[in-house]
Amino acid sequence: MRVTQQIERIQAPPITEVKRWIAGRTFPADRPLIDLCQAIPDYPPPQELIDHLKATLDDPLTFKYSPDEGLPQVRQEVCHWYQRRYLAAPHPDQLCLTIGASQAFWLAMQLLCRPGDEVILQLPAYFDHPMGLQAMGIKPVYAPFVPEQAGLPDSETLTQLITPRTRAILLVSPSNPTGTVIPAWQLEQLFALAKTHHIALVLDETYNAFIDSPPHQLFSRDDWPETFIQLASFGKTFALTGLRCGALIAASELIEQALKIQDSMAVCQPRPAQQALAYGCQHLDSWVTSNAAMMQQRHDQFRAAFNAAATDFKLIASGSFFAWVRHPWPELTGRQAARKLAEQANLICLPGEVFGPGMESYLRLAFGNIDQTQIPSAVNRFCTQPE
């Protein structure tokens, strides 16, 4: 029995691949493994949220299905959170709770595209997006990476990539893998571009809680549902990555159609995830703000230390949970460079090429899961090139 060639051509899950490189290895106490591979918070959710979840286990409803789109009271609390975060919010009927932003992405692409259609992505692109598009038979069309612009999209370039088969422009802000934030004014410009061409602007905002100011004003527009779709995640926001708390936010007419796919795919977001999400939206604003400030301090410390270090690696862009660096080995691919660091420097990170074609010169470092005391040691691993 064989899987289809379409699936065989998709790259393996990058984090799984990298962690297999070190499976079974032991690391000396004076040079332990440093994991810059996966972008997860190193801190747990607050004890009060954990206690709240424990209490819900006594309720038999916790183990029942919810409506496909999620419990009404949970969707309402999410909308209240948006009102505080964005100073504008979708209505509950414009929101479907999903199993992480990844499922929201699949729902959006299934709604918008047929096999053979095209979606424009900005390089470097979050690896799950081209992997998912290829699995669905949708063609990823890449906007080139310009290092001097830290990976920000360019309207003129995007315009040139639009064809009659284009169904959406898909962006991530803050970017995974560069950490770069698309300014609010530019998102307005890209919204206008998408609207002019009658395509969707799809924005993955998984790290939106780690931006100081409202990320954009698109929800303040009366016409946002005509063009804009948001892929939301609360896993990093409330340190709930394992509970897979996401949402698809779009026009109510699209949400209604999405429920056809939702029902056949997952039925609903599990109730414990919804209970945790509602609690976070109701009670944890100050906790989220404090952690965002802590992550910014980590970023600033990492960036300063890396730029001051005597290293041949070059920091190209950084922000949020990420740093995007150029490795110093032109004869090596990103995968070979990352494996060299894993084997000889006891440090794991992701190779650039998993984020799209032509990215072999780069590596993604994720410092969300190391604390500030580990940053000097992490930076030091890049100062002595492994032989």
Q: Which residues lie below 8 Å from residue 14, measured CB to CB, with a gap of 6+? A: 127, 350, 351, 354
pLDDT of 353: 97
Following DSSP, what letter does each residue of 139-208 receive, concatenated?
A: EEEEEPP-GGGTT---HHHHHHH--TTEEEEEEESS-TTT-PPPPHHHHHHHHHHHHHTT-EEEEE-TTG
The stretches of 269-332 forming alpha helices (DSSP H) are: 271-283, 285-308
CB distance 110 to 118 below 8 Å: no
Helices and strands per DSSP (H, E), number in the chain: 14, 13
pLDDT at residue 311 in the model: 93
Mean pLDDT per 10-residue interval, the chain, length 387 residues: 84 92 89 90 93 92 94 97 96 97 97 97 97 96 95 96 98 96 96 98 95 92 97 95 96 97 94 96 96 92 92 93 95 96 95 97 91 90 70
Are β-strands 322-326 and 314-319 bridged in parallel, bridged antiparallel, or unpaired? antiparallel
**Domains of the chain and any CATH numbers:** 5-44+287-380 (3.90.1150.10), 61-284 (3.40.640.10)
- Look at residue 385 in the predicted model and tell me its pLDDT: 57
- pLDDT at residue 42 in the model: 86
* Euclidean distance between CA atoms 170 and 351, whole angstroms: 22
Rounded distance, CA 330 to CA 358, Å? 13
308: left (phi over 0), alpha (psi -120 to 50) or beta: alpha
The whole-angstrom separation of Cα 41 and Cα 49 is: 16
